[in-house]
Amino acid sequence: MIRRKDGTDWLLIAQPDHAAVCGQFAERWGSPDGNFGPVDPGGPVAVAAREHDNGWAEWEAAPTVDPGAARPRHFTEMPAAEFLGIWQRGVRRGADQDPHVGLLVSMHAGRLTRARLASPRDPPADRDPLRQFLQEQEAAQDVVRSRLGLDPQAVAAHSWLIATWDRLSLLLCCGPVPAATLAEVPARGRTRDIAVRPTGERSASLDPYPFAGGPVELAVPARRIPALPYTAPEALRAALGAAPVERLTFALHPVWH
């Protein structure tokens, strides 16, 4: 869940809806100048981009709260046990669709786990299961790459593309859009940094521009609830059940001269 403040309310965006934006990025990827090559919209890279957060579905159906802060849990605030359950489901579901999809989802989960282990947020008792999960994923990735005969460098580039789309979607959904840099984005023959520059609360220019077909316009469903204390998940779930659904619109475009 993405928790976005909006005045005296929160706008809550489900993780699978944020991931659907990544799928739309994959479908439009490929700049007219040829620097960024297209992605097969039905291929494993695009499918993994679109489906990489499907392990969140059960949690999103019954979300929890941070009792200390008395608010819905943002996706970065998940306890280790819930984090592991979400990504174990997600990797399994990806693999059930296609081993290549499962590999890319596993690599995304591994990246998030490494980042979590690099921070001091979890107590020692929670860090061992995270390390074990990471080791299991890395071993399984080696097996799948070998079995499918995939080029490790190509797979790594595709995984980083998914990470790039994920970050760009989060810059929009968590908003307002900040100035940022998408670093070392895979391009033809090299990597390139893409500058993200806000042109409004929900719009930004990208330089260089990586999408085909001109500006990208997106709509993401969100539920609006009052930004009140929620100390129990039942209270949050009741508020969500009564919440109206809004469609947040976003736009990305080339630099206008």
CA dist list (Å): 90 to 37, 65, 85, 117, 134 = 27, 21, 9, 19, 14
pTM: 0.96
User: Domain of 71?
Assistant: 2-254
**235 pLDDT band (50/70/90 cuts)?**
very high
Q: For 64-96, write each residue's pLDDT tens digit.
A: 999 899 999 999 999 999 999 999 999 999 999
Residue 9 forms beta bridges with which residues? 6, 226
Separation of alpha carbons 92 and 105, rounded Å: 9
**32 pLDDT band (50/70/90 cuts)?**
confident
Cα angle 38, 138, 45 (rounded to 5 degrees) comes to: 15
Separation of alpha carbons 152 and 164, rounded Å: 18
Q: Torsions phi, psi of 9, nearest 5? A: -120, 165
Q: Average pLDDT in the 185-200 region?
A: 95
SS3 label, residue 155? helix
Structure tokens at 64: 């929890």
Residue 187's H or E segment, with its range, is: strand 180-187
Instruction: Count structural domains, the chain.
Output: 1
**257 pLDDT band (50/70/90 cuts)?**
low
Question: What integer best gives the mean pLDDT of the chain?
Answer: 96
**33 pLDDT band (50/70/90 cuts)?**
confident
pLDDT at 116 over 70: yes
Q: Which residues contact 227 (CB under 8 A, 6 or more apart)?
A: 5, 8, 9, 10, 71
Q: How many CB atoms lie within 10 A of CB 34?
A: 10
Give me the torsion for CA of 35, 171, 117, 73, rounded to 10°.
-150
Separation of alpha carbons 249 and 152, rounded Å: 37
Judged on CB neighbours under 10 Å (0-12, 13-18, 19+), 184 is middle
Backbone torsion region of residue 6, taken as left when φ is above 0, otherwise alpha when ψ lies between -120 and 50, otherwise beta: beta
